[in-house]
Structure 1
Amino acid sequence: MAILLDDTKRIFTLQTDHSMYQMKADRYGVLLHTWFGNNGTSFDYSYLITYEDRGFSGNPYETENERTYSLDALPQEYPVYGSGDYRSTALKVRYPDGSNACELRYYSYQILNGKYSLPGLPAIYATEDTKADTLIITLEDTRHCFYVHIYYGVLENLDIITRAVCIENHCSDDLYFENIQSTCVDYLHGNFNFHTFYGRHVKERTHQKSPLQHGIQSIGSTRGTSSHQYNPFFILSEQDTTEDTGNCYGFSLLYSGDFSGLAEYDQYDQTRILLGIHPDNFYYCIKPGEKFYAPETAMAFSDCGLGNLSHIYHKAYRNNLCRGKYKTARRPILLNSWEGVYFDFDGDKLVQMAKDASELGVELFVMDDGWFGKRDLDVSGLGDWLVNEEKLGCTLGELSERIHKLGLQFGIWFEPECVNEDSNLYRAHPDWALQVPGKAPCRSRYQLVLDFSREDVRDYIFTHICQVLDSAKIEYLKWDFNRSISDIYSAKLPAKRQGEVAHRYILGLYDMLEKLIQRYPDILIEGCSGGGGRFDAGMLYYTPQIWCSDDTDAIERLSIQYGTSFGYPVSTMGSHVSKCPNEQTGRMTPLNTRATVAMSGTFGYELDVNQMSDEEKALVKAQIKEFKSYDSLIQNGNYYRLTDPSEAQSYHSWEFVAEDKSEALLCIVSLQIHPNGPGNYIKLKGLDPHSAYLIDGKKYPGDVLMNGGLLLPFAKAEYESFRIHITRC
């Protein structure tokens, strides 16, 4: 059993193979957080807590004259607003009398075999090979109005501990919650760095490391999506932590909407971590007898560096979060029409692209935006999911049949959540869009957002998507969302419940995706939000791959995919070879280098094959054959970051190593050329030190390659790349 209980002292200890998490209900019923770190001796870690008389830090009433006991200084498992804790807190409630001062006390616990699930929300799940148990600790509001059920999932051999929260109203009045966080972890001491992943459209998930200073450092999104700007994943690490050494802690929210994550370094040099739904767009009514579930957080600890922490998340998300046919299966190598032809196509043009692609070894042809309604630019037609047969020159079924006769699978693009004002849908149902009465809406990309918090809106869109999917043989669906959400107001909800719309929207999105998965279990769904605007663990539960960024420039993608790799596996990163000069940067990059970078993802092409030379086509054919031979190694192997592209000068390098250490793939991209320059060396990782490995016909001991390193080939041109396959003798 991974959950240890000391019933007398009310100590709960959660253990994975390499980590331990502990809490204790003290003599006043406060649930204290006592440990998160190495899995060592099971012990009462509350001995580390300091009890002192703290000025201006008040004391709970039941402590009487015990002035050394203050919630303002104690490490807590679920701190609440108005309790005398003046730090950032996990919950804030508005009672029927208008007050908001709250206290929670320990009430009960329950231990279950297996991993819990959450109604309507994504969650990591246990498989037959997973050792998993669930602990539910219930706290009660001292005014006897509601319970807080804290769910802990212990996935022992995955080294993952999950947390989620359920609020249950058991009084006779409505309760309004202004903040419900999923996770709080308090550290009594430590000198930490805060690793976050920031960006913008076409520059997502840039790794940033900042030392914690007194005060609050936070990330978040109020854009209705997890966003391009910040990712709902962050790392806390000790100051001396590297890729290979040191203690670090990961926090990943399985949620695709507004979120908040923060680290507060307090007056006593303690650190508090909070992660959950952003409170700015949140004011939720829970009626008597109702329950509210907050999203899950996946927590992980590594005592041997950031690389191992990433491996924990990669394996768990690949095998125990992604679902369906394609969670571990090789994805088809695709050609997407978007950057090749944009809106300028007809059926014959697409078939010709597909024909040339099939001759090169491409397996899936994807028709992107522009196939429906009145849609020759992005200003109209969105929401009218009727095939434009006049533009295609045939029915969708006939086009699909022509593509399949070439030996290819067929895929299609949708943007179900948005609508153009110039559309039949909007003219018929303007109230279906999120917009505030009496206020002109904020447009973005000439689009408004449909109110997915409404079941009738979702049902309409779902019916029309199904009509399209049922009209042809379709194996792939790209689900896009090309704007942030503003004007958050639903015509279906009363004024007092408008604060629920943002979260209800995400629940509606998940509901619709789940229905699609159940109806079309063999369709590969790729998530997208203008690239990586919704690249989060919540979406991976429904879409096993996500378009990593709308920036397809190979050199730009180095930092984007590097940052993404800290929390997400390579198998989830949509990555394509695009044309040159690149559409976003104008940069010229060798075709071989574009392939090297795209191979570190799901791999595909996004260009007009008809415009390629015979020499380029021969290269593409060889690339596809090569990728197929490496696919299992890349998608399922351990990924090692060998350099940081923001610090690298001459080259950037990364490596894939098979789980059994039988082979590896070393990838190198030259960044700068220096005449008469020094040799460049790279130390490999993850090999068996006691085995010999073959590189270009020469044997090297594994420990030599990891300690002495490998002399890299000399690049003859800027942005030249190399892929070196390493096999055990």
Structure 2
Amino acid sequence: MGIIVQENTGLFHLQSAGMSYLIQMVDGYPIHVYWGDKLKHREPMANLFIHTPETAGLDRLFQEYPQYGSGDFRNPAYQVELEDGTRITELKYAGYKLIKGKPLLAGLPAVYAENEAEAETLELELKDDYSGLKVVLIYTVFAGRNVIVRSARLSNEGGKKLRLLRALSASVDFGGKGDLDIIYLSGAWAREGNMTRRALHQGETRIDSKRGMSSHQLNPFSALVTPETTEHHGEAYGFSLIYSGGFEAVAEVDSFGSTRMSMGINSFDFSWLLNPYESFQTPEAVMVYSKQGLGEMSRTYHRLYRTRLCRGKYRDEERPVLVNNWEATYFNFNADKLVAIADEGAKLGIELFVLDDGWFGKRDSDNSSLGDWYEDRRKLPEGLADVAKRINKLGLQFGLWFEPEMISPDSELYRKHPDWCLHVPGRRRSEARWQLVLDYTRKEVRDYIYDSLSAIFSSVPVSYVKWDMNRALTEIGSAVLPPERQSETAHRYVLGLYELLERITAAYPNILFESCSSGGGRFDPGMLYYMPQTWTSDNTDAVERLKIQFGTSLVYPVSAIGAHVSAVPNHQVGRITPLDFRGNVAMSGNFGYELDLTKFSDEEKEMVKNQVISYKQIRGLVQKGDLYRLKSPFEGNESAWMFVSEDKEEAVVYYFQVMAVPNAMRRTLRLDGLNPELEYEVWSGDRGEKSSYGGDRLMQLGLHLAYRQKDYESGWFRLKAVKEG
């Protein structure tokens, strides 16, 4: 493993346990040669570059960081405007540097290496002598992971100003691969994470967000796959951006059938002024190669993000089972009602009570008080600390909801500081949910939020925070930025958010932070760096959650997926599903309840108690095991998945049928990820039956599934390897 440099031929061979990535310098240009299954390195490797006719120009070259204006008419990775208004630059190779381990990115979330032996980094230096632009392409390869992490640092080493018009994180030219499909996650509020797959043809396929956030509509992830690639077989190339603002991922097929995949900050409405000797660092793009289908691509992302992106105390700790009062009470509650729900939760084995929206300012609906982060003594006459201590005495931890990036026009904060929101002078201020967005480019705004939250954390025993963000950015302008930097506002907002999150999570390392954005509107790797889990969707309907959680798992680990049981009829779609069905879906994530437990019957309470007991027995496996997706809800009436321990000695399997099928055939479910040499004791959780099977039999012939003539059927199995002797 490592990075092999062949200086006489200008070849750079980046190697991991099962992957190679090759770059070669041709006439001073860094040319992309290969990315795929591991190649043996032989000396010399001089003829890997596929030459094109000398008259073809840059338009026929496969490049690592392409430019525009000198003969390449495809999407460039960057574009710069000089002081004279021209936009022509031409980067040429100027040298390289090898670094053991992986340097952090200042001010940006990034994956990390815990020691120098597990990763190696290559920096390729490119220069345009005329303008003084220098670009350092940064590549990190991990020894045991089929991952390439890419970013770029653009610097002005000339004597005149430069303006970045585009600065992407990565660009890869796929030549000789033939036809490719693209897979991405699409949707909207309450239906996030829908897997979309379509063939690429000549022209562009653009996945992006112009909302100032990663968005419900499209996630900062895409994968290129061969047409024959499935969950278990074929090649997959994943692209995931560690960024929480507007992004773009563009697949462009040219007239010769090659595909250029590029990813980074959205170039729309973006520019960045570089004064002499200033630099700009792009976010990281995490690129994963799999030759064993989408499943292995996902597991590679899961292991990396769970252990080398998430940080802090809760990276490795099992997450608590919680009850949230939102759908139980909405804004209508008092201290006794909250304690009553917590008391019932304690009897059922729940470990954390979360007080959601409505506890602050004069917040009786969502039309006021955001920014006024002090307790509402009308609802809580003895204060938050009293409620929290009463709940702690029941044996539960106490959690609290905030929406710290927003401000209500009807708030004391807005009346005092009407200029603290994002706005453009003389233009209307677009409200969504009766709220505006605070200007996080301003240090005094971030300081106010830090001080407000710190005052609560210092006086109330808060163990968990749900950090919400309920609207996209509009009128993106800042009162403190000069005219020539107004188009930097959106990115500076994200940088300001990251600065605040770094500060507050470092100051309160014992608080479990969960990100939220009306559900999955900002489910991205950038947020996972600061908060190890995310509220996946405001839609808690179990049938819809099959798709939402299945799709989200394409790139994000289950340890990041918040999943709750809610009341029926469901508040989003009105569907009535059985409690066991809702529980089995929610137990396939970070488990909790979002309803009024005091209204449950004794029978329902007993079911909840058993669900909590069962989840506590398996949550380490669910949150840290390898996920194998067995049946897709996007392809039929059934869904199934399983979690397998690293040593393959333990597994848990869930299956679901949405609608009953008349005169159905007997069903079997083929498992995956087991050791074919081991014998497994299989316990059926829904039937209480126990039997033993070989791992090979379970993966080749499968498990027989019981059939009941009813809608919304579900079941689960626990597997443990039988010890010899």
TM-score, normalized by length of structure 2?
0.97
Aligned partners of 1:609, 1:717: CA distance in 2, in Å?
26
The one-letter amino acid of 2:33's match is T
Q: Is the 8 A contact 2:82 2:131 kept in 1?
A: no
Q: Where in structure 2 are the equivalents of 1:212-611 lying within 5 Å?
A: 212-611=200-599
- Residues 669-712 of structure 1, C-alpha deviations (whole Å, 9 max, x = no match): 11121232211111110111111112232221111111111221
* 2:695 aligned residue (702, 706, 709): 702
Q: Which moved more, 1:42-51 or 1:611-620?
A: 42-51
The residue number in structure 2 matching 1:172 is: 159
Q: Which amino acid aligns with 2:52?
A: Y
- The alpha carbon displacement at 1:444 in A equals 0.6
Q: Deviations over 1:544-600 (max 9, x none)?
A: 000000000000000001110110110100110111110001000111111111111
Task: Report the residue type matching 1:147 in the other structure.
Answer: K
Work out whether residues 387 and 468 of structure 1, in 8 Å CA contact, stay in contact via their aligned partners in 2.
Answer: no
Structure 2 residue matching 1:617: 3-state secondary structure: helix
RMSD, matched Cα:
1.2
Contact 2:669–2:703 under 8 Å retained in 1: yes
Cα deviation per residue 1:420-464 (whole Å; 9 max; x = unaligned)? Answer: 100011111111111111111111111100000111111111111
Partner of 2:670: 683
- Cα distance in 2, alignment partners of residues 451 and 350 from structure 1: 34
Does residue 1:124 correspond to 2:123, yes or no? no
Residue type of the alignment partner of 2:711:
E
| 2:379 match: secondary structure | helix
| Structure 1 position 613 matched with structure 2 position 601 | yes
Alpha-carbon separation, structure 2, partners of 1:448 and 1:117: 33
Residues 136 and 154 of structure 2 are in contact (CA less than 8 Å); yes or no, is this contact kept in structure 1? yes
1:531 counterpart letter in structure 2 = G
Look up the match of 1:721: 714
Q: Distance in 1 between matches of 2:220 and 2:661?
A: 39
* Shift of residue 716, structure 1, vs aligned partner: 3.4
Using the alignment, how far apart are the partners of 1:432 and 1:196 within structure 2? 36
Q: Deviations over 1:183-222 (max 9, x none)?
A: 0011112221100110100011100111110100010001
Cα distance in 2, alignment partners of residues 125 and 715 from structure 1:
48
Where in structure 2 are the equivalents of 1:608-647 lying within 5 Å?
Answer: 608-647=596-635
The 8 Å contact of residues 35 and 45 in structure 1, kept in 2 or not, is answered as no
Contact 2:100 2:117 in 1 (8 A): no
Aligned amino acid, residue 33 of structure 1? H
Query: Match for residue 51 of structure 1?
Result: 52
Cα separation, 1, equivalents of 2:719 and 2:612: 19
Aligned-residue offset at 1:159: 2.2
Superposed structure 1 runs of 4+ greater than 6 Å apart: none
Distance 1:266 1:578, change over 3 A: same
d(CA) in 1 for partners of 2:522, 2:81:
31
Deviates more, 1:710-719 or 1:507-516: 710-719
2:352 & 2:118 partners in 1: Cα distance? Answer: 37
> Does residue 200 of the first structure (1) align with residue 199 of the second (2)?
no
C-alpha separation in 2, matches of 1:713 and 1:48: 56
Contact 2:77 2:168 in 1 (8 A): yes
| Per-residue deviation, residues 626-645 of structure 1 (Å, max 9, x unmatched) | 00101111111111111110
User: Whole-Å Cα distance in 2 between the matches of residues 317 and 202 of structure 1?
Assistant: 24
Helix, strand or coil at the partner of 2:659 = coil
Which residue identity lines up with residue 37 of structure 2 in the other structure?
A: N
Aligned length: 713
Report the CA distance between 1:252 and its aligned residue.
0.6
**1:519-563 superposed Cα distances (whole Å, 9 cap, x missing partner):** 001100000000000001111000000000000000000000111
In structure 2, what is the Cα distance between the partners aligned to 1:131 and 1:45? 28
Partners of 2:655 and 2:373 in 1: CA distance: 44
How far is the alpha carbon of 1:50 from its aligned partner? 4.1
SS at match of 2:192: strand
Q: Judge which range, 473-482 or 149-158, deviates more.
A: 149-158
> Paired residue for 2:28?
29
TM alignment of 1:100-119, pairs within 5 A: 100-119=87-106
Asked if structure 2 preserves the Cα contact closer than 8 Å seen for 1:34 and 1:45, the reply is no
Q: CA deviation at 1:396?
A: 1.4
Match of 1:133 among 104, 120, 126: 120
Whether contact under 8 Å (2:148, 2:286) holds in the other structure is yes
3-state DSSP of counterpart to 2:134: strand
Q: Work out the CA distance in 2 between the residues paired with 1:666 and 1:440.
A: 53
Question: 1-side partners of 2:117 and 2:189: how far apart?
Answer: 37
Alpha-carbon distance in structure 2 between the residues aligned to 1:129 and 1:410: 39
> Which whole-Å CA distance do the structure 2 matches of 1:144 and 1:422 have between them?
50
Are 1:209 and 2:174 an aligned pair? no
Q: CA deviation at 1:129?
A: 9.1
Q: Distance in 2 between matches of 1:132 and 1:83?
A: 35
| Structure 2 match to 1:150 | 137
- Residue 31 of structure 1 contacts residue 77 of structure 1 at CA under 8 Å; is this kept in 2? yes
Contact 1:34 1:46 in 2 (8 A): no
Deviations for 1:249-278, whole angstroms, at most 9, x for unmatched residues?
A: 111100000000011111111110000000
Q: Unaligned regions of 5+ residues in structure 1, if any?
A: 53-65
Measure how far apart 1:647 and its partner are.
1.3
Q: Which letter does structure 2 place at the counterpart of 1:95?
A: L
Distance, in Å, in 2 between the alignment partners of 1:715 and 1:319 is: 40
User: 1:467 is aligned with what amino acid?
Assistant: A
Identity fraction in percent = 45
Q: TM-score, normalised to structure 1's length?
A: 0.96
